[in-house]
Amino acid sequence: MPSMLRDGSRRDVLAAGGLAALAALLAPRMALADEKAVEAEIKKLYGEKKLESGRIKLDVPQIAENGLVVPINVEIESTMTADDYVKAVHVFADGNPQPGIVSYRFTPECGKAAAATRMRLAQTQNIVCVAEMSDGKLYSTKSEVKVTIGGCGG
């Protein structure tokens, strides 16, 4: 997907009323992150290490029903034994004021590497998830969440 980032027009519309439903959730004028900001965050943590695909089950809605509280569930496939477990999971958003959403740290005692929370999303954007395994391997996936003005339904 191309980046969904745009200038401030979207926020102005939403604040204008009329069809706008999401005015309340939008931050006042401030710079929003982008794909590069997310890449930079990942680099800060893991340098140039390769990101592989797979193992991550990232469950976010295709369309947010309420951008203020968007549910996210993430689960990493792992035996969670002393010699093979998930060490950390980081979640980023490429269209919020700050790219960082949440970081989780796991030990083999956790039994499984799964977590759920709610996040606030300012606009349609990608949610990026990175998982660090005990052997140092990194896995990554991303999923787009659409934040829409709403209305006009069927």
**C-beta separation of 11 from 97 below 8 A:** no
Among 30, 36, 49, 65, binds another protein (CB under 8 A): 65
Which x/- pattern over 3-22 shows residues binding another protein (rule: CB under 8 A)?
Answer: -x-x--xx-xx--xxxxxx-
**C-beta separation of 56 from 74 below 8 A:** yes
Using alpha carbons only, what angle is made at residue 143 by residues 54 and 58, rounded to the nearest 5 degrees? 50
142 binds another protein per the rule CB under 8 A: no
117 binds another protein per the rule CB under 8 A: no
Distance between CA atoms of residues 60 and 58, nearest Å: 6
47 binds another protein per the rule CB under 8 A: no
154 binds another protein per the rule CB under 8 A: yes
2 binds another protein per the rule CB under 8 A: yes
**C-beta separation of 56 from 142 below 8 A:** no
Nearer to another protein, 1 or 40 (CB): 1
Closest by CA to 78, choosing from 56, 49, 45, is 56
Nearer to another protein, 57 or 105 (CB): 57
3-state SS, residue 93: strand
Give the residues lining the site for another protein (CB under 8 A).
2, 4, 6, 9-10, 12-13, 16-21, 61-66, 69, 71, 124, 146, 148-154
